Amino acid sequence: MKTKPSSFVSPDCLFCKIVAGTIPANRVYEDELCIGFPDINPQAPAHLLIIPKRHIASQARCTAEDAALLGHLMATATKVAQDYSLDGGFRVVVNTGDDGGQTVNHLHLHLLGGRHMKWPPG
Protein backbone atom coordinates (compact mmCIF):
# COMPACT_ATOMS: atom_id res chain seq x y z
CA MET A 1 0.00 0.00 0.00
CA LYS A 2 1.22 3.48 -0.82
CA THR A 3 1.56 5.74 2.22
CA LYS A 4 1.21 9.50 2.34
CA PRO A 5 4.46 11.44 2.87
CA SER A 6 5.09 12.78 6.38
CA SER A 7 4.63 16.32 5.04
CA PHE A 8 1.14 15.66 3.63
CA VAL A 9 -1.28 18.58 4.18
CA SER A 10 -4.89 19.14 3.15
CA PRO A 11 -5.30 22.71 1.80
CA ASP A 12 -8.72 23.45 3.32
CA CYS A 13 -8.04 21.86 6.71
CA LEU A 14 -8.14 24.15 9.77
CA PHE A 15 -5.56 22.15 11.72
CA CYS A 16 -3.20 21.93 8.72
CA LYS A 17 -3.35 25.74 8.70
CA ILE A 18 -2.45 25.78 12.40
CA VAL A 19 0.47 23.43 11.66
CA ALA A 20 1.55 25.75 8.82
CA GLY A 21 1.19 28.80 11.08
CA THR A 22 -1.33 30.59 8.85
CA ILE A 23 -3.87 30.31 11.71
CA PRO A 24 -2.30 31.19 15.07
CA ALA A 25 -2.15 28.84 18.04
CA ASN A 26 -0.08 28.87 21.20
CA ARG A 27 2.19 25.85 20.67
CA VAL A 28 2.74 24.50 24.14
CA TYR A 29 4.48 21.48 22.60
CA GLU A 30 6.15 20.83 19.25
CA ASP A 31 8.40 18.20 17.74
CA GLU A 32 9.00 16.85 14.25
CA LEU A 33 5.77 14.82 14.23
CA CYS A 34 3.16 16.75 16.20
CA ILE A 35 2.12 19.92 17.97
CA GLY A 36 0.07 20.64 21.10
CA PHE A 37 -1.98 23.78 21.71
CA PRO A 38 -4.94 24.89 23.87
CA ASP A 39 -8.46 24.22 22.61
CA ILE A 40 -10.19 27.48 21.65
CA ASN A 41 -13.33 26.37 23.56
CA PRO A 42 -11.97 24.62 26.66
CA GLN A 43 -14.15 22.00 28.36
CA ALA A 44 -11.91 21.67 31.42
CA PRO A 45 -9.34 23.86 33.25
CA ALA A 46 -6.70 22.16 31.07
CA HIS A 47 -7.84 21.32 27.54
CA LEU A 48 -5.10 20.79 24.99
CA LEU A 49 -5.19 19.37 21.49
CA ILE A 50 -2.38 17.11 20.29
CA ILE A 51 -2.31 16.80 16.51
CA PRO A 52 0.00 15.18 13.97
CA LYS A 53 1.69 17.58 11.56
CA ARG A 54 0.71 15.24 8.76
CA HIS A 55 -2.92 15.41 7.70
CA ILE A 56 -4.89 12.32 8.72
CA ALA A 57 -8.64 12.90 8.51
CA SER A 58 -9.58 10.80 11.54
CA GLN A 59 -8.78 7.72 13.56
CA ALA A 60 -11.01 5.82 11.13
CA ARG A 61 -8.35 6.40 8.47
CA CYS A 62 -5.50 5.04 10.57
CA THR A 63 -3.91 1.68 9.82
CA ALA A 64 -1.13 -0.40 11.31
CA GLU A 65 1.27 1.79 9.31
CA ASP A 66 0.32 4.68 11.59
CA ALA A 67 0.99 2.74 14.79
CA ALA A 68 4.25 4.51 15.62
CA LEU A 69 2.71 7.94 15.06
CA LEU A 70 -0.35 7.07 17.17
CA GLY A 71 1.86 5.83 19.98
CA HIS A 72 3.89 9.02 19.76
CA LEU A 73 0.72 11.13 20.07
CA MET A 74 -0.30 9.19 23.20
CA ALA A 75 3.14 9.54 24.74
CA THR A 76 3.07 13.25 23.92
CA ALA A 77 -0.29 13.58 25.71
CA THR A 78 1.36 12.05 28.79
CA LYS A 79 4.24 14.50 28.56
CA VAL A 80 1.94 17.51 28.19
CA ALA A 81 -0.17 16.23 31.11
CA GLN A 82 3.00 16.18 33.20
CA ASP A 83 3.91 19.68 32.00
CA TYR A 84 0.47 20.84 33.20
CA SER A 85 0.88 19.00 36.52
CA LEU A 86 -2.25 16.92 35.98
CA ASP A 87 -1.11 14.66 38.78
CA GLY A 88 -4.66 13.75 39.82
CA GLY A 89 -5.35 12.21 36.44
CA PHE A 90 -6.57 13.27 33.03
CA ARG A 91 -8.59 12.08 30.07
CA VAL A 92 -7.57 11.59 26.43
CA VAL A 93 -10.41 11.62 23.90
CA VAL A 94 -10.39 11.02 20.16
CA ASN A 95 -13.76 11.97 18.67
CA THR A 96 -14.16 10.09 15.40
CA GLY A 97 -16.71 10.73 12.67
CA ASP A 98 -20.23 12.13 12.99
CA ASP A 99 -21.38 9.72 15.68
CA GLY A 100 -18.15 10.31 17.59
CA GLY A 101 -18.76 14.06 17.61
CA GLN A 102 -15.78 14.98 15.44
CA THR A 103 -16.02 18.52 14.06
CA VAL A 104 -12.50 19.08 12.69
CA ASN A 105 -11.46 16.44 10.19
CA HIS A 106 -7.78 16.27 11.13
CA LEU A 107 -6.89 13.62 13.71
CA HIS A 108 -6.49 15.12 17.19
CA LEU A 109 -6.26 13.96 20.78
CA HIS A 110 -8.12 16.02 23.35
CA LEU A 111 -6.19 16.12 26.62
CA LEU A 112 -8.54 17.17 29.42
CA GLY A 113 -7.70 17.67 33.06
CA GLY A 114 -7.94 19.86 36.12
CA ARG A 115 -11.39 18.67 37.15
CA HIS A 116 -13.12 15.39 37.96
CA MET A 117 -14.44 13.71 34.79
CA LYS A 118 -17.79 11.95 34.67
CA TRP A 119 -18.56 8.63 33.01
CA PRO A 120 -20.19 7.88 30.63
CA PRO A 121 -19.46 10.96 28.51
CA GLY A 122 -22.46 12.59 26.83
Q: List active site positions.
A: 108
For residue 103, how many other CB atoms are within 10 A of its CB?
7
What character string, x for contact with Zn ion (CB under 5 A) and - otherwise, covers 2-21?
Answer: --------x--x-xx-----
| Residue 95 contacts ligand 5GP per CB under 6 A | yes
**Which of 41, 63, 116, 119 is in the footprint of ligand 5GP by CB under 6 A?**
41
Count of residues in contact with ligand 5GP, rule CB under 6 A: 13
**Which of 35, 37, 53, 86 is in the footprint of ligand 5GP by CB under 6 A?**
37
Which entry of Zn ion, ligand 5GP, none binds 16, CB below 5 to 8 A by partner kind?
Zn ion
Which entry of Zn ion, ligand 5GP, none binds 10, CB below 5 to 8 A by partner kind?
Zn ion
CA 48 to chain centre: 8
Strands of the sheet containing 90-93, edge to edge, are 29-30, 34-38, 46-52, 109-113, 90-93
52 near 2, Cβ under 8 Å?
Answer: no
CA–CA dist 114, 107 (Å, integer): 23
| Residue 54 contacts Zn ion per CB under 5 A | no
